[in-house]
Amino acid sequence: MQRLSSYVQGAWHAGTENSETLYDPTTEEAIAECSTAGIDFGACVRYAREVGGPALRAMTFAERGKLLKALSGAIHEHREELIEIGVTNGGNTRGDAKFDIDGATGTLAAYAHYAKSLGDRKFLSDGDGEQIGRTARFHAQHVRVPRHGVAVHINAFNFPSWGMMEKLACSILAGVPVIEKPGTPTAWLAWRVAQITVESGILPEGSFQFLCGKTGDLLDHLGGQDCMAFTGSARTGALLKGREALVKNNVRVNVEADSLNAAVLAPDVDASSDTYGVFLSNVVTDMTQKTGQKCTAVRRILVPSDRVDEVRTDLVAELARIQVGDPRDKANRMGPLSSKAQFDDVRAGIERLAAVGDVACGGPQPLTDKGYFVAPTLIVAKDGEAEIIHSDEVFGPVSTIVPYDGDAASAAAIVRKGGGGLVCSAYSNDSDWLETYVLEAAPWHGRIWTCSDRVAEQTLPPGMVLPNLVHGGPGRAGGGEELGAARGLEFYTQRTALQGFKGFVEKAFGAK
């Protein structure tokens, strides 16, 4: 069995007490264990602040960008090995494992590219300067500078590689050291990426620490210059956000939580159109990729009431093509859920949704005697107003068709019942319909993806998170925001308004 260790204060630490066990979700075989017993979490925070922070802040944005580019290359060199771990530990198909790993290296490379435009400076000019006195002599300029703290990243189990590196890319480029904590069920992959990171020697000492196991009292040591970014369930995010030490010390907190993302089909979309084909393809992809264990997966499918039977028939036919089984077999397009806990939660969730709808395909029954396998499950709501459809996210290959009257504003009103989302998708060739929907839905979403025949051949699926666009959302989705190119650095930097003699302020800190 693989023993996973933590990297803290410049050394690897393998706790031996209170170990947590990781399993192969295909065979249920125990494959690894980890523990953080014996780690002084307060010392980890001080080490990051006192060693890693100064080393990063001594570098320019361009220099930090070169680190990210080199790290992307170092991880990519181990791609095949990492894919195998993703298959074994996460139950990923090869395609799903590549999605996670390539997402990590791609995001690092993207932020290395963004660094070039930020230049050889150690701060960012924030907008243009302006006159604030009787004459132009008295001048003001906003700037952004790295905060003198540490960024604690608590990552989700579903993207152990991508989730860790997308947060790291923003923080390191901003000049802030990180302490990374992966979701335990799939921590083997994150641990191996951490090993590669440390062994590469690319990042300055103290700028990267890695905790494999419980975080103990780590968060209680954070102060006003520190921050915490969390990805996971809305319930856990709310508990962390309300932690006494974080509130007392005004620690910056960013939460990216689950959300009941919707796909909306407009009434004008003909079944023979390219847009309808993209609609079917995207819904199936976002239901089954990573076995539906994506924060951007489609949970609600809004369909005009008079087309529910048609869409149901077409989606069932498409989902029937998804062969489920051992992800090591290339013929299988969907593997198991990542853990026993997820398996139990998803099966129970399907039963709750089935109480307010008809199961068109799939269901809660296990597919095998061994392993955490469920079938792609499509449910048709009997009552689109049923609260559970808009409040209970089943984090697996499960989605519900919700009938609506075809009106754009009505569709947005139904989608808003989810309380805030990361992304919603809308399919229409009617520009007026789309404009109405976007304006009504946008306040409840971090991202809105639209499709028409004009872009059907060029679109990426709405579940694809891109480093140049913001990721996050209001309300239930956590109220946070990350990525978005240079916008992703804002969380890790302090905006300061400088005032003084224009000759000094503009020359030293003005935009270039």
* CATH number, domain with residue 150: 3.40.605.10
pLDDT tens track for 86-109:
999 999 999 999 999 999 999 999
Helix (H) or strand (E) holding 143: strand 138-146
CA distances (Å), origin 409, targets 213, 413, 433: 46, 6, 9
pLDDT tens track for 139-162:
999 999 999 999 999 999 999 999
Greatest CA span in the chain, whole angstroms? 80
List the strands of the sheet with 421-427, edge to edge: 357-361, 377-381, 398-404, 298-304, 261-265, 421-427, 445-451
Judgement on whether residues 328 and 424 belong to the same structural domain of the protein? yes
**Whole domain around residue 37: which residue ranges?**
2-257+480-509
Judgement on whether residues 94 and 25 belong to the same structural domain of the protein? yes
* Tally of domains within the chain: 2
Judgement on whether residues 314 and 343 belong to the same structural domain of the protein? yes
Positive or negative, the Cα torsion across 286, 292, 296, 301? positive
Q: Is residue 471 part of a domain?
A: no
Judgement on whether residues 212 and 157 belong to the same structural domain of the protein? yes
Judgement on whether residues 393 and 426 belong to the same structural domain of the protein? yes
Bridge partners, 399 (sequence order): 378
User: Which residues neighbour 289 within 8 Å (Cβ) at sequence distance 6 or greater?
Assistant: 96, 99, 297, 463
Residue 149 token pair: 């703290």
Q: Is residue 473 part of a domain?
A: no
Cα angle: 183, vertex 484, 290; to 5 degrees: 40
Q: Is residue 176 part of a domain?
A: yes
Judgement on whether residues 244 and 294 belong to the same structural domain of the protein? no
Mark whether 256 is an active-site residue: yes
Q: Is residue 472 part of a domain?
A: no
Judgement on whether residues 335 and 281 belong to the same structural domain of the protein? yes
366 phi, psi to nearest 5 deg: -65, 150
Residue 53 token pair: 């922070």
pLDDT at 233 over 90: no
The pLDDT confidence band at residue 1, using thresholds 50, 70 and 90, is confident
Residue 290 vs residue 511, higher pLDDT:
290
Q: How confident is the model at residue 119, as a pLDDT?
A: 81
Q: Is residue 243 part of a domain?
A: yes
Mark whether 166 is an active-site residue: no
User: What type of residue sits at position 327?
Assistant: P
Judgement on whether residues 141 and 215 belong to the same structural domain of the protein? yes
Of the candidates 396, 366, 339, 347, the one whose C-alpha atom is nearest the C-alpha of residue 30 is 339
CATH number at residue 437: 3.40.309.10
450 phi, psi to nearest 5 deg: -120, 150
Give the pairing type, strands 178-181 and 11-13: unpaired
Judgement on whether residues 350 and 406 belong to the same structural domain of the protein? yes
The pLDDT confidence band at residue 512, using thresholds 50, 70 and 90, is confident
Residue 9 token pair: 């204060």
User: Which residues neighbour 493 within 8 Å (Cβ) at sequence distance 6 or greater?
Assistant: 124, 144, 145, 146, 147, 174, 175
Mean residue pLDDT of the chain comes to 95
Say which of 295, 451, 482, 506 is annotated catalytic.
Answer: 295
Cβ burial, residue 203 (10 Å; 0-12/13-18/19+) = buried
pLDDT at 16 over 80: no
Residue 327 token pair: 């992800």
CA distances (Å), origin 472, targets 23, 285, 362, 476: 30, 21, 30, 10
Q: For residues 240-265, give the mean pLDDT.
A: 93
Judgement on whether residues 211 and 270 belong to the same structural domain of the protein? no
Percentage of the chain lying above the pLDDT 70 cut = 100
Q: In whole angstroms, give the CA distance from residue 246 to residue 254.
A: 12
Q: Is residue 474 part of a domain?
A: no
Of the candidates 5, 2, 10, 1, the one whose C-alpha atom is nearest the C-alpha of residue 35 is 5
Judgement on whether residues 196 and 296 belong to the same structural domain of the protein? no
Q: In whole angstroms, give the CA distance from residue 132 to residue 120.
A: 28
Q: How confident is the model at residue 383, as a pLDDT?
A: 87
Q: In whole angstroms, give the CA distance from residue 302 to residue 283.
A: 11
Q: Is residue 123 part of a domain?
A: yes
Judgement on whether residues 248 and 347 belong to the same structural domain of the protein? no
Say which of 256, 393, 482, 506 is annotated catalytic.
Answer: 256
The pLDDT confidence band at residue 131, using thresholds 50, 70 and 90, is very high
